[in-house]
């Protein structure tokens, strides 16, 4: 890992209507639009869905690093994040993120240890730690052959 601080630079451009192009060096452009809840067209990523995706992605990447560091064998981690957007003191903001994680592990895995690492991933995810909304984690560890 590179020493801190890290810097991430993105750009966005758009006109009076239509999609907004989100760009970053060496990455494909991403077209975004307001979600249907804000009268957007749907069918495109929005700032709201991107934020929830960032929470889910960071959770998996954090778990991956923890699993590697502790030598936990696992096969797949499915993660779904539901973000709740509400009005607080006349301001729209995310008030909660619920993460539902299903971990597939091989036979012989210590289920308690796997659950503990899932909880640790939620507590150490830098994206979630950067948000002030309430967080909840629901986990399931499934043994597969």
The residue segments making up the domain with residue 56 are: 47-144
117 in any annotated domain = yes
* DSSP string for the chain: -PPSPP----EEEE-SSS-EEEE-TTS--EEE---GGGT--SSSB-HHHHHHHHHHHHHHHHHHHHHHHHT---SEEEEEEEEEEEEETTEEEEEEEEEEEEEEEETT--HHHHHHHHHHHHHH-HHHHT--SEEEEEEEEEEE-
27 in any annotated domain = no
19 in any annotated domain = no
pTM for this entry: 0.95
Q: What is the mean pLDDT of the chain?
A: 97
94 in any annotated domain = yes
29 in any annotated domain = no
Residue 100, domain CATH: 3.30.300.20
75 in any annotated domain = yes
Residue 119 has pLDDT above 90, yes or no: yes
Nearest Cα residue to 141 out of 110, 109, 107, 111: 111
Nearest Cα residue to 125 out of 24, 75, 49, 52: 52
State the pLDDT at residue 1.
86
CB-CB contact of 14 with 33 (8 Å): no
CA distance 62 to 33: 29
Q: What is the pLDDT of residues 27-45, one digit of tens each?
A: 999 999 999 999 999 999 9
60 in any annotated domain = yes
Q: What is the pLDDT of residues 78-114, one digit of tens each?
A: 999 999 999 999 999 999 999 999 999 999 999 999 9
C-beta neighbour count of 32 within 10 angstroms: 19
- Place 54 in a pLDDT band, splitting at 50, 70 and 90: very high
107 in any annotated domain = yes
Q: How many domains does the chain have?
A: 1
Residue 145 has pLDDT above 90, yes or no: no
Nearest Cα residue to 127 out of 75, 83, 78, 71: 83
Residue 72 has pLDDT above 90, yes or no: yes
């Amino acid at each position: 890992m590179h020493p801190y601080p890290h810097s991430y630079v993105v750009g966005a451009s758009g006109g009076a209507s239509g999609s907004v192009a989100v760009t970053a060096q060496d990455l494909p452009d991403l077209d975004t639009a307001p979600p249907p809840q804000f009268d957007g067209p749907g069918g495109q990523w929005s700032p709201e869905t991107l934020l929830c995706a960032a929470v889910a992605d960071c959770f998996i990447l954090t778990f991956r690093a923890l699993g590697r560091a502790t030598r936990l064998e696992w096969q797949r981690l499915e993660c779904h994040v539901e973000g709740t957007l509400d009005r607080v003191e006349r301001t729209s903001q995310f008030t909660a993120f619920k993460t539902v994680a299903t971990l597939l592990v091989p036979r012989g895995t210590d289920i308690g240890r796997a659950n503990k690492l899932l909880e640790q991933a939620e507590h150490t995810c830098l994206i979630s730690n950067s948000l002030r909304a309430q967080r909840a984690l629901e986990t399931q560890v499934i043994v597969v052959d």
